[in-house]
Structure 1
């Protein structure tokens, strides 16, 4: 099992390519609260539901001082197609070698259809303006997750 982050831990730094192949770093968000969520694959039913849920709640999250970043192992071209098809308005970052996924404990053994497999563990982190983990949620559900997150954050 990979290491799991806890509230108070320093968020592992990252610099990854977005859907347009521009570098985006966690350091770019210093001084702001940011939601970083990890999802298995663009354009799959659960991941589409989750991304659209973030999209549909983005205005309220932004008003509450939260930015959103989605990270998956997908290549930038696939992320661009996903973004454009779903009208996503927050950065989707590519982590094909899974370095960032592993640093956040969002890649490893998980149960899928009763079998143990290696893969992306759907996870969400709220990072405070100083780069510390405020919340670490592992094995989140694609459906209803953003509503739960808003409730947890009193938004």
Structure 2
């Protein structure tokens, strides 16, 4: 494990992820019926939601004062989950204006871990858990493995009536992802 960190601060020298083409197939994909556990206690089936949904996907949130997995800062696109989440939190009201019915975060962390992050970060929206990688496997979401964990690569999806209509991938810098999504929504 690496040294302790402040997950709200992005180091200046984190490597940018490159577009490896691993998300090219997602635009136009109809989501499978698959309930995901949410931090508000509900089960959310993204395939059955009417209207526009934004889902930002991230590898894992860190806990202040606890070490990161070995080499975390050197993995392109790994660092920045807390700043990405805080960006969506800070722009939540604005995101709802261009016709977004709902917003979710999504990671492979378990719901109890995610609940702690939702409370600590004061997120006004639920976070979904794909702990068993069921959604990731079903639609072939890009992943990476580190320290024995298979994690989702950072991205954001616009989903209209259960169909992915826009993919933001790769996402960099992560703290600007919400602004990038809002700019696209305003122009769409």
- Please report the TM-score for the alignment, with normalisation by the length of structure 1: 0.81
How far does residue 57 in structure 1 lie from its aligned partner after superposition?
0.7
Q: Give CA deviations for 1:36-74 in whole Å, capped at 9, x if unaligned.
A: 121100236611100110011110111222121111111
The answer (yes or no) to whether the contact 1:98–1:107 under 8 Å persists in 2 is no
Superposed CA deviations along residues 75-94 of structure 1, whole A, max 9, x for unmatched, are 11111100000000111011
Partner Cα distance (1:29, 1:85) in 2: 27
By percentage of residues, which structure has more strand?
A: 1
Residue matched to 1:71: 106
The reply on whether 1:54 has 2:88 as its aligned counterpart is yes
* Aligned-CA RMSD value: 2.6
Q: Pick the structure with greater CA Rg.
A: 2
**Residue by residue, what CA displacement relative to the aligned partner does 1:86-145 show, whole Å, maximum 9, x if unpaired?**
0001110111111112334333358x9xxxx963211111011x3222101222121211
Q: Which runs of 5+ in 1 are unaligned?
A: none
TM-score (norm 2): 0.68
Q: Unpaired segments of 5 or more residues in structure 2?
A: 1-20, 64-78
Match of 1:102 among 132, 137, 142: 137
Count residues in correspondence: 148
Q: Distance in 2 between matches of 1:14 and 1:98?
A: 11
